[in-house]
């Protein structure tokens, strides 16, 4: 049996990245109806380049479904530091999903959960018999790396990727994928706005995990730690465990996506028809990276 190669796309990460990459000079690419389309355009540039580069046989796009999730219920400060999305981006949330649908790529998301949780669930659902690649700019997803699951981190610049797998992970991060969760528990995450243990930064957290392995072992051996570190842990013990819980991606979300429904089968005429409604020039250039993959058979 031929092993399938599944690309799981962090849709919101690509859309936000694309929006801000093209809008910093006020380039919102309004169509004749006054709807901005710049984020969707750059999203597709990222998507087509990744499909060209990694040649998946199947593609799924996962989305956040609102700002309220089970994590905000656990900790009301979770992501509370983030501004409202720019008004020019809001109409592009639905628009980008319509464009993704024109490629016959499933859009997957579930209220109360994040796209990360959906990707973690699907990755673990598919990986026993398939190679899974997760495309994002979010390093929280690195905790998902294991046998047959790779995480592709988008770096600055078009087509600049760093791929993490089980063989190169320790060399790159000096930790195992599972320890990424405990790292965030100790040091917190300023982007997601949870604090971890006050006074413990990345350098100290990394050293502690390299010595003790896990937060549980660290706490069990707390008397072996310097007094200053002991005091910090004891003061913020509840937040330590809460931060670890917030950092962990759920891989048992009640979603499903039949692999056959995500088969990459690019139909140029259907996609071009959808994109023409956005009034973009040079749609052929946008689709050029994937045209040579329309007849790939898996």
Assign domain 179-247 to its CATH superfamily. 5' to 3' exonuclease, C-terminal subdomain (1.10.150.20)
Residue 30: pLDDT above 70? yes
Domain 5-173+250-291 belongs in CATH node 3.60.150.10:
no
Q: Which of the two residues, 281 and 169, has the higher pLDDT score?
A: 169
How does residue 159 score in pLDDT terms, banded at 50, 70 and 90?
Answer: confident
**In the chain, % of residues over pLDDT 90:** 91
110-128: per-residue pLDDT in tens?
999 999 999 999 999 999 9
Question: Please, are residues 99 and 274 in contact by the beta-carbon 8 Å criterion?
Answer: yes
Task: Provide the residue ranges of all domains of the chain, joining segments of one domain with +.
Answer: 5-173+250-291, 179-247
How does residue 297 score in pLDDT terms, banded at 50, 70 and 90?
Answer: very low
**Six-digit token pair at 235?**
């003061």
Which stretch of DSSP H or E encloses residue 7?
A: strand 5-10
Q: Which of the two residues, 249 and 291, has the higher pLDDT score?
A: 249
**Six-digit token pair at 206?**
């990394």
Average pLDDT taken over every residue of the chain: 94
Q: What pLDDT does residue 157 have?
A: 78
Residue 175: pLDDT above 80? yes
Residue 14: pLDDT above 50? yes
How does residue 293 score in pLDDT terms, banded at 50, 70 and 90?
Answer: low
Long-range contacts of 150-156 (CB under 8 A, 24+ apart): 152/50, 152/54, 154/13, 154/14, 154/17, 154/46
**Six-digit token pair at 140?**
């929280």
pTM for the full model? 0.95
Residue 170: pLDDT above 90? yes
Q: What pLDDT does residue 295 have?
A: 39
**Six-digit token pair at 4?**
């399938």
Residue 28: pLDDT above 70? yes
Place of tokens 């009034």: 279
CA–CA dist 285, 56 (Å, integer): 20
Helix ranges restricted to H, 36-114: 38-54, 70-74, 92-102
206-264: per-residue pLDDT in tens?
999 999 999 999 999 999 999 999 999 999 999 999 999 999 999 999 999 999 999 99
**In the chain, % of residues over pLDDT 70:** 97
Helix ranges restricted to H, the chain: 11-23, 38-54, 70-74, 92-102, 115-126, 169-173, 179-187, 202-212, 215-220, 227-235, 237-247, 268-276, 283-291
């Amino acid at each position: 049996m031929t092993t399938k190669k599944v690309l799981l796309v962090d849709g919101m990460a690509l859309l936000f990245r694309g929006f801000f990459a093209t809008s910093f000079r006020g380039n919102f690419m309004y169509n004749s109806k006054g709807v901005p389309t710049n984020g969707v355009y750059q999203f597709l540039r990222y998507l087509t380049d990744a499909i060209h580069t990694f040649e998946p046989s199947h593609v799924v796009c996962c989305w956040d479904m609102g700002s309220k999730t089970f994590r905000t219920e656990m900790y009301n400060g979770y992501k509370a530091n983030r501004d409202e999305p720019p008004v020019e981006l809001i109409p592009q949330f639905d628009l980008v999903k319509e464009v993704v649908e024109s490629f016959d790529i499933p859009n997957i998301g579930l209220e109360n959960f994040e796209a990360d949780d959906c990707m973690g669930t699907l990755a673990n659902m598919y990986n026993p018999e398939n190679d899974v690649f997760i495309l994002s700019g979010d390093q929280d997803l690195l905790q998902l790396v294991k046998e047959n699951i790779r995480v592709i981190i988008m770096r600055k610049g078009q087509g600049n990727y760093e791929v993490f797998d089980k063989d190169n992970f320790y060399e790159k991060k000096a930790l195992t994928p599972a320890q990424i969760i405990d790292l965030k528990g100790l040091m917190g995450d300023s982007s997601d706005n949870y604090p971890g243990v006050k006074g413990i930064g990345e350098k100290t957290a990394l050293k502690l995990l390299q010595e003790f392995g896990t937060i549980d072992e660290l706490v069990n051996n707390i008397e072996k730690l310097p007094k200053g570190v002991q005091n910090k842990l004891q003061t913020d013990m509840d937040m330590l465990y809460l931060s670890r819980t917030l950092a962990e991606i759920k891989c048992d979300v009640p979603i499903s996506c039949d692999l056959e429904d995500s088969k990459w089968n690019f139909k140029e005429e259907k996609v071009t028809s959808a994109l023409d409604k956005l009034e973009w020039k040079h749609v052929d250039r946008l689709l050029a990276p994937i045209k040579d993959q329309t007849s790939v058979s898996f």
